[in-house]
Amino acid sequence: MHVILMNGSPRQNGNTAVALKWMADELRQAGISTETIQIGDQIIRGCIACEHCVTSEDNLCAFHHDGINNLIIKLRQADGFIIGFPTYFGGMPGTLKSAMDRLFYAGKRNGRYRNKVGAATVLVRRDGGPEAFNQIITYYHLTEMIVAPLQTWAVRHGMKKGEICEDVEGRQTIRRHASAMAWILKMREATKDSVALPPAEDRIVMNFIR
């Protein structure tokens, strides 16, 4: 079993990196391999709805210059993924938003994210964490992923590097979030031959404009 962790912060070694490391440590203790990928400091353009990922044979994005297609392939092969990022104006940073739109629009084709396990961690100075956390969870829900349970939003507080270590409750929350993710992954692995997944269906799409 393998989990990809994505750092959506422009700072490679800031508070987000610390939080993701704690989550990766929890997963590895459960016997699950991890890989952390830095994307928050990259130059990533947004989706332009060209539909290339819909019509092309490999269902990859038309833009090949920024590594998003390589990450799409990694996510398709992984059993789950964790997104970590700081909160700007009550939401995720713009670079991460551009990446997420392309990763999930192209990556979900043919149900390739379906029933994978998702988790997240959000870093804030003071407010805006739940709203930003729910942004990420919406991507998971709309691609039929399984969201690991948690005792409250996986939000940690801190401004300067290292301040999140003082947020004891926040650290417990994300540690338990990662532990629950490991539990779900192990259940999926243990029951893959005995419990069938819900059958996939062709999606019915309609427009409310008449």
Q: What is the pLDDT of residues 166-175, one digit of tens each?
A: 788 888 888 9
Please give the structure tokens belonging to residue 20. Answer: 């993701």
Residues 20-41: tens digit of each pLDDT: 999 999 999 999 999 999 999 9
Secondary structure of residue 135 in the 3-state scheme? helix
Residue 26 phi, psi (nearest 5): -65, -40
10 Å Cβ neighbour count for 115? 15
Task: Flag whether pLDDT at 160 surpasses 80.
Answer: no
Residues 168-195: tens digit of each pLDDT: 888 888 899 999 999 999 999 999 889 9
Please give the structure tokens belonging to residue 9. Answer: 């912060």
Q: 186-206: string of b/e by CB count within 10 Å (b at 16+)?
A: eebeeeeeeeeeeeeeeeeee
Query: Domains of the chain by range and CATH?
Result: 2-191 (3.40.50.360)
Please give the structure tokens belonging to residue 148. Answer: 């690991």
Query: Looking at this protein, which amino acid is placed at residue 100?
Result: M
Rounded percentage of the chain residues whose pLDDT exceeds 70? 100
Residues 1-18: tens digit of each pLDDT: 999 999 999 998 898 999
List Cβ neighbours of 111 (8 Å cut-off, separation of 6 or more). 144, 200
Residues 88-99: tens digit of each pLDDT: 888 999 999 999
Residue 34 phi, psi (nearest 5): -135, 160
- Give the mean pLDDT of the chain: 91
Q: 21-37: string of b/e by CB count within 10 Å (b at 16+)?
A: ebbbebbeeeebebebe
